[in-house]
Amino acid sequence: MTKDRLLIYGANGHVGEALARLATSQGLEPILAGRDAGAVEGLAGELGLEARVFSLDDPTALDRALTGVRAVLNLAGPYVRTWEPLVDSCLRTLTHYLDITGELPVLEAMAALGGDAAERGVTLLPAVGLDSVPSDCLAAHLVRRLPGATRLTLGLRTTGPAGLPPGTQKTMIELAHLPDRVIRGGEPVTLPGLLVASREIDFGEGPVPALRFQAADPYMAWRTTGMPDIEMFVALPLTMRLGYRLVRLARPAFRWAWLRRALQRLALPGASAAALSRSSTQVWAEARDPAGNVVRARLDGPEGAVVWTTRSALAAARRVLDGRAPVGFQTPAGAFGPDFVLECEGVERVDLA
């Protein structure tokens, strides 16, 4: 049987539904998949698409579900619970794999499978959403401008009424017990202590306070550019900054799985289409070399967690389906180059220095 289909796993989630609708609006006919039969089949019926319902706990059923599938796009977080069975099945069935994770433990574990994937002719391309297409492409762009850069600082700011999708909220809770990590001296380093570093970043309207944030972006930018020192900051309103600091101080309590599960059940609903349309996201980056030269750039784009994410993930999936992605473990900019992010509607890049 010809393997030419895209399968979206987690299609019944907030981001999954948005991506399914975007794909059909562009003439694609993906297979919608997940564990919730009612939700998956209901959405597939509305959009005139095929539905496949299966559990990740049954390897045989999972392999069978990938029949005729060229690429899987996993949108079911927390990815620490879903990536491994899907990637294992993709390696067995010679199916390409993409996801939108921002979970560092997932990325490190998946990268270790890169050699096996390359030998099998399989592409493993995680983090093709807001984590970490914008920052990865911006980092590669700055290295293109300053080839000797060794230090990279990334910044993120979202404005408007849209909050985080339910899946992202659950993922942040799932990882809240983990220590902060950055790239130092050419490798991922765990930072001691419970306090959160801060700095100011000018996203174009004057400096605003931002907190150092654990995300996939520094790790992916490191794998793409090789810069030995990378960290990331996120600009948040005052109340959210205080809340984030409190969560970090309470980090030891989040080791209790029962607490994480209880808090995940309190996840807020996803933003409405109106709220998404009134929100925007900016990604900022600064690179320095040992001689003191500095380059900066910024990406201005739509709301990030849903709109930007679905556009970039679908663009990446199209390239994989068309055979335009290298095999093995890949980063977005490593696979498609610094300008890939500009393929997303509504994204503009501004060189600042």
- The answer to whether 332 and 41 have CB atoms below 8 angstroms apart is no
Structure tokens belonging to residue 52: 């496949």
- CA-closest candidate to residue 137, choices 293, 353, 323, 349: 349
- CA-closest candidate to residue 33, choices 22, 19, 44: 44
Q: Which residues does the chain have with pLDDT short of 70?
A: 1-2, 162-165, 167-169, 171-172, 175-177, 193-195, 240, 244
Residue whose entry in the numeric block shows the structure tokens 């209880």: 262
Given this model, what pLDDT does residue 167 score? 67
Opening angle at CA 111, ends 170 and 224, nearest 5:
95
Give residue limits of the domains in the chain.
5-129+308-337, 133-304+343-351
- CATH superfamily name and code, 5-129+308-337: NAD(P)-binding Rossmann-like Domain (3.40.50.720)
The pLDDT tens digits for 240-269 are: 677 767 777 777 887 788 888 887 787 777
Given this model, what pLDDT does residue 221 score? 98
* Helices within 146-237 (DSSP H only): 166-174, 217-225
| 3-state secondary structure at position 207 | strand
Reported pTM:
0.92
The reply to whether domains 5-129+308-337 and 133-304+343-351 share a CATH topology is no
The pLDDT tens digits for 185-224 are: 999 888 876 667 889 999 998 999 998 888 889 999 999 9
Cis peptide bond upstream of 192, omega within 30: no
Given this model, what pLDDT does residue 61 score? 93
- CA-closest candidate to residue 342, choices 106, 141, 83: 141
- The answer to whether 80 and 42 have CB atoms below 8 angstroms apart is no
Given this model, what pLDDT does residue 1 score? 56
The domain made up of 133-304+343-351 has a fold known as: Dihydrodipicolinate Reductase; domain 2 (3.30.360)
Given this model, what pLDDT does residue 172 score? 67
Structure tokens belonging to residue 34: 């997940």
Given this model, what pLDDT does residue 126 score? 98
Q: How far apart are CA 317 and CA 34, in angstroms?
A: 18
